[in-house]
Amino acid sequence: MTDTLSSFQTEAEKQVEADFLATGYVIRDVEDRKTLDQIRALIVDTCSAYLGNPAPPALQVYLDNIGTKVEVDHLNALRLNILSGMRNTPWFRVAYYSLARDMLAALVGNELAMQKNINLSIQMPGDESSLLPVHADVLNGDSPFEVVLWVPLVDCHATKSMYILSPERNTEILAGLGDFSHNTSEDLFHAVKDDVTWLTIPYGRYIIFSQNLLHGNRVNEEAQTRWSMNCRFKSLLSPYADKKFGEFFEPITMRPATRLGLTFTAPDGFNGG
């Protein structure tokens, strides 16, 4: 089967597949830098308006140093305000998709379902309230067919970024996950911490990763704040789990043959195929 599939792929497609299967992720330049800049400008404008600050001339410097303008205790209120601005902007989801449209087609397919609401994470230096413990979304109601498009709004590296476990080590850990049934997520992290990869993703790049892999973040020990967005995508007709079609996901690309097939009703006495 692998040889048959390979014969239908271009060399570029083969390389993308090899990279993704080897590591569980790909990191690439965004496909529409102008649109990413527009997204970041919207977020900065919404943030500065909420805080009553003048519009900053240097957007990344402003985001990196947001801790000088808001206390950690008020950070979630700020985040929710920005999320409201994102979700009330009609072009936002289309713009987000455009950042990795071609790569999503290469990795997932050209008929896609997209998470309805894009997420925003803000993690200040030393903030213990914004942690995402080690986890694999597939163990918490997500379909194994999903990928996550994670886009930073600032340069992310080391503890200002996220970590991910390799597919090989992930398979080993999940096979023995029952051994951790009486332990905490912190115990699980310490079991894998020497095997995780801390991802370096500067502004202008993205990562698409399999949420079947254990991943998470730690206390940000860098000098500046992390800002990142994330959203799940999956093949439209692949199986869903707890996060259902129409509730959590909605179709964004559907081909005409699929539209016809989904609306076809066989006459009485015929089975339609």
Domains of the chain: 9-31+100-256 (2.60.120.620)
pTM of the model: 0.93
- pLDDT tens digit sequence for 42-60: 999 999 999 998 888 999 9
pLDDT confidence bin for 3, thresholds 50/70/90: low
CA-nearest of 22, 260, 53, 244 to 143 is: 244
Query: What would the pLDDT profile of 69-128 be if each residue is shown by its tens digit?
Result: 999 999 999 999 999 999 999 999 999 999 999 999 999 999 999 999 999 999 999 999
Phi, psi of 178 (to 5 degrees): -60, -25
Positive or negative torsion for Cα 41, 44, 46, 52 = negative
Contact, 169 vs 24, CB < 8 A? no
Q: For residues 153 and 82, give the distance between their C-alpha atoms in angstroms, rounded to a whole number.
A: 13
Six token digits for residue 268: 């009485």
What's the chain's average pLDDT? 94
